[in-house]
């Protein structure tokens, strides 16, 4: 054991996990440090009950938080052992993390940790240059390292995604309860530390091939007149479609995003097509040709070089998401 106690190391990892991306910035996780272990729970109070009744996006978000905690442990020099969904009687206990060996900090662990602090969702148009194939391969390897596949869409599949995405948005916005949920989580300054603030939403509708989520309001984020024509679209997918698979998908999403960040690329998740069962099925049958279940769509691109990115979105204070019982 190093000079710091296991409890302090694990608490720091749980606090760093707070930087993880989550659907509508709901941060639907709760951490408990007790008896030399770190427990990750789903916090159903921040589940999108109408938009995400099965908790898919909640699990993906919690998976991202779990991966962020793992990155923090590596940046503190520790290897960790992780048991996922180990209690059949408690589906909300998502993972138990314990410290394994103190191996010291590697340069790659530090780069991952720096990327964790810099990463953010970029809803601006991408630049006029495409993503180098070699970069996409590296991002695919990052997903593969977490046991999840990443399929990069071919041009004809991007058109299929565009129509599925428009359909998903339309279906969601026709539903008054989903509209209400969206309005609850999106817009304003978000002083309470959750949700998507106006500062992260473009000030005007963008020209896009694939429509991004319609937040039904203009934000304050300056965005150029660019397009998404040079963006790459990719689907994270795998052979299972259970909560445990969605958790792994979230870990893979975090790993791909931190890799993209280090390659100077911007990432924007698209989840409406996953939330709506009919369009999720379209992705499964057409784009993935039945070879796997889609977990999340990602737009990957070179960031707009002419405008500043959005400021970081707020987060809940660690005291509200991390309990230290030791
Ligand atoms: C599972 C998941 C689904 C998401 N879906 C969307 C989406 O459909 N549209 C969008 O603009 N952002 C989406 N996001 C991005 C979140 O809104 C974003 O992570 C959150 O607001 C925190 O901001 P940050 O990523 O800049 O830290 C998604 C994120 C996650 C993890």
CATH number at residue 193: 3.40.109.10
Q: How confident is the model at residue 117 (pLDDT cuts 50, 70, 90)?
A: very high
What is the per-residue pLDDT across 185-217, written as a single tens digit (0 to 9) for each?
Answer: 999 999 999 999 999 999 998 889 999 999 999
Distance 4 CA to ligand 1 centre (A): 34
Averaged pLDDT of the chain: 96
Q: Say if residue 35 is in the same domain as residue 106.
A: yes
Asked if pLDDT for residue 1 goes beyond 80, the answer is: no
pLDDT digits (tens, 9 = 90+) for 303-315: 988 888 889 999 9
Same-domain status, 36 and 10: yes
Distance of CA 281 to the CA centre of its chain: 21
Same domain, 200 and 175: yes
Which atom of ligand 1 lies at the shortest distance from residue 196's CA?
21
Residues 148, 271: one domain?
yes
**pLDDT tier for residue 3 given thresholds of 50, 70 and 90:** low
Contact 233, 210 (CB under 8 A): yes
Is the CB of residue 116 below 6 angstroms from any atom belonging to ligand 1?
no
On the question of pLDDT at 58 being above 70, the answer is yes
- Which are the contacts of 281, defined by CB distance < 8 A and separation ≥ 6? none
Do 192 and 264 belong to one domain?
yes
CA angle (143, 140, 162) in 5-degree steps: 100
Residues in the chain: 326
Q: Which domain holds residue 199?
A: 133-301
Q: What is the pTM of this model?
A: 0.98
Within this chain, do residues 233 and 152 fall inside the same structural domain, yes or no?
yes
The reply to whether 169 and 101 lie within a common domain is no
26 lines ligand 1 (CB under 6 A): no
Q: How far is the CA of 65 from the centre of ligand 1 (A)?
A: 13
Torsion angle, CA of 89/94/100/105, rounded to 10 degrees? 180
105 and 164 assigned to the same domain: no
Domain match, 168 and 230 both: yes
Measured CA to CA, the distance from residue 306 to residue 286 in angstroms comes to 36
Ligand 1 centre to CA of 22 (Å) is 5
Residue 306 lies in a domain: no
Q: Give the Cα separation of 71 and 69 in Å (integer).
A: 5
The predicted pLDDT at position 305 comes to 82
219/254 same-domain check: yes
Q: What are the φ and ψ backbone dihedral angles of 210, each rounded to 5 degrees?
A: -100, 115
Q: Taking CA 54 as the corner, what is the angle to CA 33 and CA 31, rounded to the nearest 5 degrees?
A: 5
| Paired tokens of 32 | 């408990």
- Say yes or no: 103 and 158 in one domain: no
- The count of other CB atoms within 10 Å of the CB of residue 20 is 25
CB 21 near ligand 1, within 6 Å: yes
Number of domains in the chain: 2
Confidence at residue 4, expressed as pLDDT on a 0 to 100 scale: 86
> Are 225 and 252 members of one domain?
yes
Share of the chain above pLDDT 70, in %: 99
Cα 269 to ligand 1 centre (Å): 6
């Amino acid at each position: 054991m190093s000079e710091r106690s296991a409890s302090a190391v694990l608490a720091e990892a749980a606090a760093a996990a707070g930087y993880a991306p989550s659907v509508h910035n709901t941060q639907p996780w709760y951490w408990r440090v007790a008896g030399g272990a770190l427990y990750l729970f789903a916090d159903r109070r921040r589940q999108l009950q109408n938009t995400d009744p099965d908790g898919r996006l909640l699990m993906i978000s919690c998976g991202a938080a779990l991966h962020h905690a793992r990155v923090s442990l590596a940046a503190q020099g520790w290897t960790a052992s992780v048991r996922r969904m180990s209690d059949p009687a408690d589906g909300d206990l998502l993972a138990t993390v314990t410290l394994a060996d103190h191996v010291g900090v590697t340069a790659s662990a530090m780069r991952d940790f720096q990327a964790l602090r810099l990463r953010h969702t970029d809803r601006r148009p991408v630049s006029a240059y495409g993503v180098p194939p070699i970069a996409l391969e590296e991002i695919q390897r990052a997903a593969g390292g977490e046991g999840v596949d990443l399929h990069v869409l071919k041009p004809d599949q991007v058109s299929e995604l565009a129509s599925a995405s428009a359909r998903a948005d339309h279906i969601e916005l026709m539903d008054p309860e989903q509209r209400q949920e969206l309005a609850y989580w999106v817009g304003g300054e978000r002083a309470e530390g959750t949700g998507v603030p106006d500062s992260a939403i473009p000030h005007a509708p963008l020209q896009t091939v694939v429509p991004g989520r319609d937040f039904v309001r203009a934000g304050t984020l300056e965005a150029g007149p660019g397009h998404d024509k040079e963006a790459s679209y990719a689907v994270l997918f795998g052979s299972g479609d259970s909560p445990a698979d969605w958790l792994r998908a979230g870990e893979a999403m975090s790993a791909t995003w931190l890799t993209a960040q280090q390659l100077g690329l911007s990432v924007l998740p698209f989840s409406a097509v996953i939330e709506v069962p009919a369009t999720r099925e379209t992705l499964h049958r057409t784009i993935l040709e039945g070879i796997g279940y889609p977990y999340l769509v990602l737009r990957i691109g070179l960031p707009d070089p002419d405008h500043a990115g959005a400021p970081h979105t707020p987060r809940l204070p660690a005291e509200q998401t991390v309990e230290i019982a030791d």
